[in-house]
Amino acid sequence: MIKTGKKLKVFIAYNETDQESAADPLDVISEAAVKQEARDVYAAVEQTGHVPSFLPIRNFPADLQKISDEKPDAIFNLCEGYRGKASHEMHLAGVWELLNIPYTGNTPLTLGLAQDKVLTKKLLESRKIPTPLYQVFNKLPENTFMEYPLIVKPASEDASLGITRDSVIYNFDALKKRVNNLIQKYKQPVLVERFIEGREFNISIMGGSPAKVLPISEINFTRLDPGQPHITSYEAKWLPEHPLYKKTPPVCPAKINKELEERLKDIALQVFKLLQGRDYGRVDVRVDARERIFVLEYNPNPDISVGAGFSNAVKASGMSYPDFITQVLNNAINRRA
């Protein structure tokens, strides 16, 4: 339990959806989902006996005034950006730091590092942690040294933004077309990776001393139509009525042998420690036919709504959702002690 022994005023901070600034109307669906996440966290905090309040972030001078007036004991930070810009996710955590208010989740540094997929890959390479071969394009590519198939994605987005069934590329003409499309749409560099045919795993981690790997989840691609690329696209992640969502269910715990399980846990913890993860995070990997592991990214502050992948891993570990939320909140309070 929280060491203070008193009821705490906890602000549940989340970013309001900004439809106008979105590159695509569908892109705001993942951003809007944070409202349900906030409701779930609110209910769990309330069950602990503390006093939660919603803090939708939409107008920062006024939002700061509310914090100043009401003086919360802690902030449960669910913000994934500001006014439609994911790049501001780290800045909001930085504000909580400057205000000296205990807050949950990863630090501004970790949030910024993880959002920059190219920088993350360079850090992984520096520690000899395997990650798919890649190139970065700021303009239309003139050539590539990599073998097909390739997968093309924005270099600094999360929530699978920009990843669709057209993201897996099999020839140079398709590569140029896809890179150009993403540069025009998201106004940022494009990351092109060697596509790893095989299995995809999500490895959830709870921070602590020591950090703990939760039961591993695998995306089941067996229901996809023949010829459909085995990827977790934006549609498959965020649109429950979409066929790709229904045909790519997660399986947790994953059906894997003990040796692969231990290697997945080990490499996930390496990534978590390298990027200085805390409280909770998720490492996404691909595993090829020879059971070689390739790290795709570290997802700090992933979706923790009831029924989301992280919460399903929590449930599979035997921990209740309110107990998980309480532990995360404890972590934030105790960091200040």
Residues 295-317 have pLDDT tens digits of 999 999 999 999 999 999 999 99
**Phi, psi angles (nearest 5°) of residue 217:** -110, 145
Q: Give pLDDT, residue 60.
A: 85
Q: Give pLDDT, residue 288.
A: 97
**Phi, psi angles (nearest 5°) of residue 323:** -65, -40
Q: Give pLDDT, residue 337.
A: 59
pTM summary value:
0.92
Instruction: Give me the residues of the chain with pLDDT under 70, please.
Output: 1-5, 18-32, 159, 337
Q: Which of helix, strand or coil describes residue 298?
A: strand
Domains contained in the chain, CATH given: 9-105+321-336 (3.40.50.20), 113-130+196-316 (3.30.470.20), 134-194 (3.30.1490.20)
Token pair of 223, please? Answer: 């229901």
* β-pair partners for 52: 10
Token pair of 32, please? Answer: 């809007």
CA distance 103 to 14: 12
CA distance 67 to 60: 10
Q: Give pLDDT, residue 28.
A: 61
Q: Give pLDDT, residue 26.
A: 60
**Are the C-beta atoms of 97 and 85 separated by less than 8 Å?**
no
Q: Which of helix, strand or coil describes residue 60?
A: helix
Q: Give pLDDT, residue 249.
A: 93
CA distance 96 to 223: 44
Pick from 87, 35, 30: nearest CA to 56: 35
Pick from 284, 160, 156, 308: nearest CA to 234: 160
Q: Give pLDDT, residue 175.
A: 96
Q: Give pLDDT, residue 4.
A: 45
Q: Give pLDDT, residue 19.
A: 55
